[in-house]
A and B are shown apart, each in its own frame.
Chain A
């Protein structure tokens, strides 16, 4: 169905090739997982299939690609769009219409199908992928999993035989990932050919037929799925891959020791979004100084809102933050908390990494020390917005440490990061904790929790549980809590 023969490709601006002599054959009806660290060439392979290379991205290419018997470079992009459906990483920038029903119909409209035919296909797709409840909504207001489900729906409206998905789970939490997995499983059942590029491996375990591992542009291994998933943890780590085994459970490993230095505490926190919805209500929460607390909870439990409140960014939030014996009101910027946002690019303002860190600290030596500690010395002169996602996270963490505020808050820092970058963020948090920061991190990434968190707390219906030390006993409870969040099936009732 898809045939790559001796493909070497480099993007216009890059010296090093993104793909080096890759040969891969995909049979009709196969579901193939492409994995490898960031920059390994996964996305480039997908773009060769849907025609974005060479029609949209410029670069140098040798070798031949054949998709269902034709060569993409000889056809126009819109002709390929009829054969290949594409789903991308970021739902925010893949929706063209701001209404889900229009979004589903978009490709059919572009191909000039009569409205009656579009209506028929809409009904079919809605029924197949269980989209009824998502219709006629603003896609931005849906959960991540629902967004990707709409994206999958609109990718299949031209009855494509081939689907390519580029890191579709990056922005999804555990439950949402299941929504996505169901669609891919459905396509497989229907005999479509699917290529998925992913860092996250666990959710595809029972769906994919083959796993192809890429490294720096070369295809290094081609596994049958059963062999791949039978490998031990060390085999994944050796290849720089996320470990699907720890993806399913938190373990206690090399947690740092915390000196008994008191608490950062939050008291009488009250916040409501509107009269209809219950907001946050936290009488008292204590976070040991120097701890790294994983804050977990279901979609919409108010985790991100809580972080904003702790920064004092919600004017309608009442309560106090006590840190180092000082009390701060939460209804205006506290100046004691530093937040690393989900979309880190939107908080890096300076023209170089060094200047960014300097903007929160005046001592040049300290800045140098922090840059060294977080392995940013080599990047000091780069513009922050030219860095990769994981590097941007580290720059923001560096500014946070430099700001010397004591409370560091992170919102899903590892979504979309590969193994290496995830470890880097984890180690930078450990370093910040050693330097005296108290860290609260919203996450559902169990491998990440395993690699750095010392405590955890569960946010449910606006109430925060007690902050507990992560040890053997509590780890199993945390696992159970995370499992329960994943398996609540309100969205998925009709597909399974």
Chain B
């Protein structure tokens, strides 16, 4: 039977990778970035790795975020080079620390953003089923993924309220953080409860093998993605040995 609805579902979202490949790439890129240094050849590998999330974001048609990311990354990189030329002592330490954190973590964070923003809940569940993850791990993970956008929305409302009330850092940083976190947690708890109730009334958690309308599977693009990651890993290993 051909379904008009499901045919419609295959809309253009740029290149679609398999969620499993995406997750593997995320892990590889993030852990390589954390484990290698900045010197010599490793520094070069690092720059190439940092380009990976940029390319992926562009491929998934999220050009705006990709460009913003690469811009921030390059600025941090440039600043670290410039500051090591002109600064010394504690100032240099501070500058290298700040830019270093950016260079170390930003690419990993962007990989995470790419994963979450391009994977639908249903695709993610399909992937979890394929790798035979038990429901007791899968469901909390899915709820977490489902919750990111809601948290973002709540947070922007909360910070609007803080701005409107003119509550800035004047009350001290701890109060400022508390003011934002307590309502956020309260709303996440309430929302989470409602969400679980709604999902349970639609049969989530039934001891039945789930089916899925999302067709996932490894394609050429996944192979390419994973090869690039593997190549990076091997390169890092070889350079490390040498």
Contact = CB atoms under 8 A, between A and B. Distances in A.
B199 A96 contact: yes
A61 interface: no
Interface in B204-234: 204-214
B154 interface: yes
Given A123-B5, A347-B157, A51 B201 contact: yes
A348 B191 CA distance: 17
Given A123-B5, A333-B163, A359-B165, A346 B157 contact: yes
B124 to A, nearest CB: 10
Which of B5, B186, B207 has the most chain A CB atoms closer than 10 A to its own CB? B5
A333 B186 contact: no
Interface in A74-101: 76-78, 80-82, 84-86, 88, 90, 92-99, 101
A155 B199 CA distance: 11
A360 B214 CA distance: 51
Interface in B177-191: 178-179, 182-183, 186-187, 190-191
B213 A112 contact: no
A84 B179 CA distance: 41
Interface stretch (B6-14, B24-32, B62-70, B97-105): B6-14
Nearest to A332: B163
Nearest to A157: B202
A116 interface: yes
Contact of A77 (B161, B162, B191, B201): B201
A450 interface: no
Interface in B189-203: 190-191, 194-203
B235 to A, nearest CB: 37
A107 B183 contact: no
B3 interface: yes
B16 interface: no
A385 to B, nearest CB: 5
B209 A345 contact: no
Interface string B124-146: 01000000000000000000001
Contact of A154 (B2, B182, B202): B202
Nearest to B204: A110
B5 A126 contact: yes
A120 interface: yes
Given A96-B121, A120-B3, A349-B179, A56 B200 contact: yes
B209 A112 contact: yes
Given A81-B203, A111-B208, A96 B120 contact: no
A122 B6 CA distance: 8
A335 B166 contact: yes
Given A119-B1, A347-B157, A56 B6 contact: no
B201 A105 contact: no
Contacts of B163: 313, 333
A326 B101 CA distance: 46
Contact of B211 (A109, A333, A360): A109
Nearest to B155: A346
B41 interface: no
Interface in B1-57: 1-6, 8-9, 11
B109 interface: no
A453 interface: no
Given A122-B3, A333-B163, A81 B195 contact: no
Interface of B: 1-6, 8-9, 11, 120-122, 125, 146, 149-150, 153-154, 157-158, 160-167, 178-179, 182-183, 186-187, 190-191, 194-214
Given A78-B206, A109-B213, A158-B203, 6 more contacts: A88-B194, A109-B210, A112-B208, A112-B210, A335-B166, A359-B165
Q: Closest 10 A-B residue pairs measured CB to CB?
A: A119-B3, A347-B161, A78-B206, A110-B203, A93-B194, A107-B202, A102-B122, A94-B198, A86-B201, A81-B203
26 contacts: A52-B201, A78-B203, A78-B205, A84-B201, A88-B194, A102-B213, A107-B202, A107-B203, A111-B203, A112-B210, A113-B211, A119-B6, A119-B213, A120-B3, A136-B9, A311-B160, A313-B163, A333-B164, A337-B164, A339-B164, A345-B187, A345-B190, A346-B183, A346-B187, A347-B165, A349-B178
